[in-house]
């Protein structure tokens, strides 16, 4: 097992050390990143591009409002981009809207000059070892008799011809967006551009009808149309695409600014998986996921933390104490969620019960997630405490490669839960688990190949104590730190529970593994019993 863990660690280090592929974007306002002041609804497609990839791709959006192939170079912006280009980088080039500005000598370029400008960008990028890609312009939304007007004319042919002559990949954004917008029609396509009714947006109090610039939905759609060409055109980039239905980003590059908004957008009682990507940042939110929001894949991109600071003794808005359940940062009430690369924390401090995550639904799965808190960090609520009443089935929850920390009873509740290859870290001398497994339940908490560690100075912890009399907690092939007490288990001053709990260990290692010193009412399991415990959970 030790050799396997070492190999996994080496492979992980090699994977994470690889530098991401870089995509540089140069272009005009249809691509550029927009400021968010005044609840600005406008977005450039380049602003929405990076969240469509995994962390193996970094997008640097240098596009600027109002620039042409001429002015972008003349104003010195190209010099800055060129100096940052590295061997192997991609350069996406998309101009055309402003090259047509006949009455503006700082931007205007004849189609022939436009083609020559593109050629210079291509060749200079290649001299730096970068890989240029030409994109035609996004269409303007001008209809005549149900068809979009051709507003780019010879500039489209110039871009296509130059890409072919320079043997440069072409993404024909004009054709992609023309097909899309014409398919929608005049009225419906307005919903994807900056059409704002008067009195609805602080940025445009008098309203706005803009047929060139995109709103969030429009920019997201264009970004996806372009990304969809990558597997065939640029397969190295295409391999890094991540499918998603919604993106959450604090910087405006997503569909929503908050996870709460994304949860609300999930279809009720959906039959297909809804995919949500959350971009890097700390999201100060208290989130309640109802039972109607089911079958969701939630993935963090970069360091993503959901944080709140309620605690049980805090007074709520109605004047009553919140209680343990009411203190949770996130409630998972919808079944079938798979959560990856997310951190959930309760920052209330050492003030008693303060839950980071409460799991009420079944078929939840957490992969490479972190749960941070103190007392009662992770609440495996399931069907709740039944106080001796028989329950045939409870919620089943999986944790894989996760980190869970806390002080007292920081993993607790009645649900069946399998923790596989997780780190369980004690921050104080106290109790790790407090199961309240229901009577008749096939299994409770199972820790398989986990590591139990502790903060410096923590020297005296119990593996668990029974919150209810039929508590079940098993540690299988785990590494137990020296902070685990030799007796291992505590009865919570309930002698009767010694006859009904199921506390067991199998093949555990480390300074805290002391099978001969364990309390007599716990068990050292056989290999067959350990296998059966996992089989019971998977059943």
List residues with catalytic annotation. Answer: 376, 409
In the DSSP assignment, the letter for residue 499 is: G
Cβ–Cβ < 8 Å for 94, 136: yes
504, containing H or E segment: strand 502-506
Closest to 243 in 3D by CA, of 396, 53, 111, 394: 53
Q: What angle do CA 133, 138, 140 make, to 5 degrees?
A: 160
Q: Is 400 helix (H, G, I), strand (E, B) or coil?
A: strand
Strand 193-196 and strand 208-215: pairing?
antiparallel
398, containing H or E segment: strand 396-400
Residue 507 CB: number of other CB atoms within 10 A?
17
Cβ–Cβ < 8 Å for 333, 289: yes
What is the Cα–Cα distance from 504 to 446, expressed in whole angstroms?
A: 10
What is the Cα–Cα distance from 473 to 531, expressed in whole angstroms?
A: 15
What is the Cα–Cα distance from 308 to 296, expressed in whole angstroms?
A: 22
Tokens of 39: 């609840």
CA-CA-CA-CA torsion for 285, 288, 293, 295, nearest 10 degrees? 70
60, containing H or E segment: strand 57-61
Q: Which residues pair with 456 in a beta bridge?
A: none
**What b/e sequence results for 1-14 when a residue is b if at least 16 CB atoms lie within 10 Å of its CB, and e otherwise?**
eeeeeeeeeeeeee
Write the CA distances from 455 to 249, 407, 428, 430, integer angstroms.
33, 10, 7, 12
Closest to 261 in 3D by CA, of 275, 271, 241, 246: 246
Listing DSSP states for 276-328 in one string gives: EEEEEEEEE--EEE-TTS-SEEEEEEEEEEEEE---TTSB-TTSSB-HHHHT-
């Amino acid at each position: 097992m030790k050799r396997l863990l070492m190999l996994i660690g080496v492979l992980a280090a090699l994977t994470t050390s690889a530098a991401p592929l870089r995509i540089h974007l140069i272009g005009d306002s249809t691509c550029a990143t927009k400021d968010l002041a005044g609840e600005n609804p406008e977005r450039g497609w380049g602003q929405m591009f990076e969240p469509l990839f995994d962390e193996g791709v970094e997008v640097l959006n240098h596009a600027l409002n109002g620039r042409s192939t001429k002015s972008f170079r003349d104003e010195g912006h190209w010099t800055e981009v060129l100096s940052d280009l590295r061997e192997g980088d991609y350069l996406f080039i998309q101009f055309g809207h402003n090259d047509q500005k006949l009455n503006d000598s700082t931007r205007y370029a004849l189609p022939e000059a436009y083609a020559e400008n593109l050629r210079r960008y291509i060749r200079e990028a290649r001299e730096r070892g970068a890989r240029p890609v030409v994109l035609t312009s996004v269409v303007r939304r001008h209809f005549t008799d149900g068809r979009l007007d051709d507003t780019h004319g010879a500039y489209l042919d110039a871009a296509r011809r130059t890409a072919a002559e320079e043997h440069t990949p072409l993404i024909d954004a004009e054709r992609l967006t023309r097909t899309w917008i014409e398919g929608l029609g005049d009225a419906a396509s307005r919903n994807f551009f900056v059409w704002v009714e008067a009195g609805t947006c602080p940025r445009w109090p008098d309203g706005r009808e803009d047929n060139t610039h995109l709103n969030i939905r429009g920019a997201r759609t264009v970004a996806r149309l372009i990304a969809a060409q990558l597997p065939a055109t640029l397969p190295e980039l295409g391999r890094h695409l991540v499918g998603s239905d919604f993106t959450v980003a604090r910087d405006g590059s997503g569909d929503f600014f908050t996870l709460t908004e994304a949860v609300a957008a999930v279809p009720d009682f959906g039959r297909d998986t809804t995919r949500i990507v959350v971009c890097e940042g700390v999201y100060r939110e208290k989130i309640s996921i109802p039972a109607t929001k089911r079958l969701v894949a939630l993935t963090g991109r970069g360091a993503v933390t959901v944080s709140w600071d309620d605690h049980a003794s805090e007074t709520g808005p109605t004047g009553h104490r919140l209680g343990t359940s009411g203190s949770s940062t996130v409630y998972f009430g919808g079944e079938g969620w798979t959560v990856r690369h997310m951190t959930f924390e309760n920052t209330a401090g050492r003030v008693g019960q303060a839950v980071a995550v409460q799991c009420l639904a079944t078929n939840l799965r957490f992969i490479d997630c972190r749960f941070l808190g103190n007392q009662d960090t992770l609440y495996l609520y399931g069907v709740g405490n039944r106080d001796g009443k028989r329950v045939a089935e409870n919620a089943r929850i999986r944790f894989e490669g996760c980190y869970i920390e806390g002080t007292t009873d920081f993993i607790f509740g009645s649900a069946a839960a399998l923790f596989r290859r997780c780190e369980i870290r004690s921050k104080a001398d106290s109790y790790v688990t407090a199961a309240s497994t229901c009577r008749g339940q096939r299994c409770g908490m199972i820790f398989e190949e986990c590591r139990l560690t502790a903060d410096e100075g923590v020297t005296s912890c119990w593996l668990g104590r029974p919150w209810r009399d039929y508590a079940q907690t098993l540690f299988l092939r785990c590494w137990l730190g020296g902070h685990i007490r030799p007796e291992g288990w505590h009865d919570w001053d309930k002698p009767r529970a010694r006859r009904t709990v199921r506390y067991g260990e199998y093949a555990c290692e480390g300074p805290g593994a002391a099978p001969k010193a364990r309390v007599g009412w716990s068990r050292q399991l056989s290999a067959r019993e350990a296998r059966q415990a996992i089989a019971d959970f998977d059943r």
